[in-house]
Every structure is written in structure tokens, then in C-alpha cells.
Amino acid sequence: MDHHELQQPDYGTGQKKLGIYFIGFVSCTLLTLFSFWVVMAAKLPRLETFALIYSAAIIQFLVQLICFLRLNTQTEQGKNNVLAFVFTGVILVTIIVGSLWIMWNLNYYMMN
Amino acid sequence: MQTEAVMAHHEHHHNTDAIDVFGFWLYIMTDCVLFGCLFATFLVLNTMGMQPSALKSHLNLYDVLIESMFLLASNFTFCLAVLNLYQKKLFKVQLWLALSFVLGASFIFMEVTEFIHLAKEGFRWDVSGAASAFFTLVGTHGLHVTFGLLWILLLIIQMPLLKMNQVARRRMTYLGLFWNFLDIVWIFVFTIVYLMGAI
């Protein structure tokens, strides 16, 4: 990249590099294949399978955030993006964990 | 305000672009909340003392795996298009965008085929709450991808007119965020809906 290219605003999405995209693509492919293999082979007990596919999903989520969305705190805008993202995470956890908690309790008290 | 400090350092249009892209990012975040609600609904209707979902007997995980690969590859080719945009190679940008479109369209084609197959086997959206939640969640994602495909087509047509300028970069950044976001949602769709449904 010449000097002119480096001056382009990146909108908080980081510099564009083929290497990082490639690493992201390969690791996401491997993680996806791993998740499907664990379920399709069906060799492990239920709980272990759950743990493995959820770990793979969370790792793949992080890889996508870093390699494709290029979330970073290098620039002012990058910091704002991360802040909005963290706030969304708080709301999502409230909605999903809250719903499951309430419904689990309702189910428990109705059945017992 | 931080924005005032930024304004002092950059040209005016760069700064308004930055605010626009941040606004689009906020839209993506609200879309996350939409999908979060749909996931919560799906989980409640599929796990909490409900009848085991009938989805398991109709699932074909190989198809889902191929779908996932199509979407992931589409995401990667889109990144290559962005890369070529920054190197000002018009034809390659259009080529990679076209490839992203084809891969995304294959994904949608497989998903629609799957829905038709499920409906024919009796797993329709109106048979149970779990089925409704399934079709709403996966369907909403599919609808987003469909709009993303139309958007890719528009950008392929606009690219020669925009002449690789700042506007082209900004629009590619929007679509890039949208397209990557859909791939991230799909990770959770295949893990929570399909893989958990198949265990």
C-alpha cells in the first residue's frame, strides 16, 4: 500500500489485508466442519457434544469479529463501534438469559 | 464531544462518512437485538417442557453444512472484492462481487428448497409453536440475505459509475458490515437450530 492508500479512512474497520481474511476463512471453515462432524459422528454423550459445538460457535464468532468485521480499538470510531457492540451484548444477554430463566421457572412451578 | 475533535483533523466529507458508517453500525446492532428476540423465542418453544420438536426427523445435516459453506465462502469473496476496491481494480471488484452473489444465491436456493421439502413432509409453520419459531428465525435470516443479494447486484451495476471514489468505499463498507453480520448470525442459527435440533 502506498502512502495515499494508508490515508484512506477505514471507518473503524481496520486496514484491509488478504492474510487476515484468509486466516479467518480457513479457521471458520475448520470450526464449522468440526461442529458438524461432532454431531454427525454422534460418538460423544449429549452434554459433551453441547459443550463442544457451543465452544466452536463462540470461537468462530470471535474469529469473525476480529478477521472479517475487524472490530478494533485503534481508532476513535473503532472504539465507538466496540462500545455500541458491548452495549448490544448486554441487551442480548438480558433478553435471552432472562427469557430462558423466566420460562424455566414457570415450567418448573407448573409441573411440580 | 469526540466528533468535534475528529472534525478538526479530517476533511469534512470524511467526517460525515464516518458518522454515517457509525449510524449503519448502530442499525446492525438493533438487528442483533431482533435476532436475539427470535433466538430467545425459538429456545423457549423448543426446550422448556415442550414436546420434542418434529424437526429432528426431517433434518438433513449435509445440506445445512453445504449451505453454511456457501455463506462462508460468499463472505470471503466479498472481502476480496473490498480488497480489490482499495487497489482500484474495477473488473476484479465486479468479479468477486458477482461470485459473492452466486454463492449467496446458492445458499438461498438451498434454504428455500429445504423449506419446501419440510412443508411437504408435514413440518409446516402452522403445526406447532416450535415450527413457527423455526420458520420465523431461519426465514428472517433468509430474508436478510435476499436483501443483501439485491444490494450486491445494485453495487455491481453502480461500481463503474462510482469510479472507485469515496462513495464507492462507503457503500462497500455498509454492505460488508451487513454481509459479515449475516454470516455471524448464521453461526448461531446452525449451532442452536440445526445442530442442537439434530442431537
Residue B107: closest CA among B115, B93, A61: B115
| Reported confidence tier of residue B13, pLDDT bands at 50, 70, 90 | low
How many Cβ pairs closer than 8 A exist between chain A and B?
A: 140
Distance in angstroms (rounded) separating the CA atoms of residues B81 and B98 = 9
Query: Which cell goes with A50?
Result: 453441547
Is the pLDDT score of A7 beyond 60? no
For B44, nearest residue in chain A (alpha carbons) = A100
Q: Is the pLDDT of residue A110 over 60?
A: yes
Q: Which amino acid does the sequence have at B106?
A: S
Residue A46 has what pLDDT?
87
How sure is the predictor about A14, in pLDDT bands with cuts at 50, 70 and 90?
low
The beta-carbon neighbor of A84 closest among B29, B79, B183 is B29
pLDDT at A4: 44
Q: pLDDT category, B53, cuts 50, 70, 90?
A: low
pLDDT band of A6, cuts 50, 70, 90: very low
Q: Which domain holds residue B6?
A: 2-198
pLDDT tens-digit readout, B154-163: 999 999 888 7
Helix B61-86, helix B90-120: angle, nearest 10 = 160
**pLDDT recorded at residue B135:** 94
0.85 surpassed by complex ipTM = yes
**Confidence (pTM):** 0.88
B31-49 confidence digits (pLDDT tens): 999 999 999 999 998 876 6
**What percent of chain A clears pLDDT 90, i.e. is strictly above it?**
54
Closest CA relative to residue B53, chosen from B123, B117, B120, B135: B123
Chain B CB contacts of A111 under 8 Å are: 49
- In the predicted model, is pLDDT for residue B8 greater than 60? no
Nearest-by-Cβ selection for A18 from B32, B49, B83: B83
In chain B, which residue ranges form alpha helices assigned H by DSSP?
A: 2-9, 12-47, 55-58, 61-86, 90-120, 129-162, 166-188, 196-198
The total of other beta-carbon atoms located within 10 Å of residue B193's CB is: 23
Q: Is the pLDDT of residue A108 over 70?
A: yes
Substitution target in B25, B35, B64 with the highest count of A β-carbons within 10 Å is: B25
Q: Tell if the CB–CB gap between B173 and A107 is shorter than 8 Å.
A: no
Domain count, chain B: 1
For residue A100 the three cell numbers come to 430462558
Interchain contact, B191 vs A40, CB within 8 Å: no
pLDDT in tens, A60-82: 999 999 888 888 888 888 888 99
Residue B25 sits in a domain whose CATH number is 1.20.120.80
- Binary contact (B36, A96; C-beta < 8 A): yes
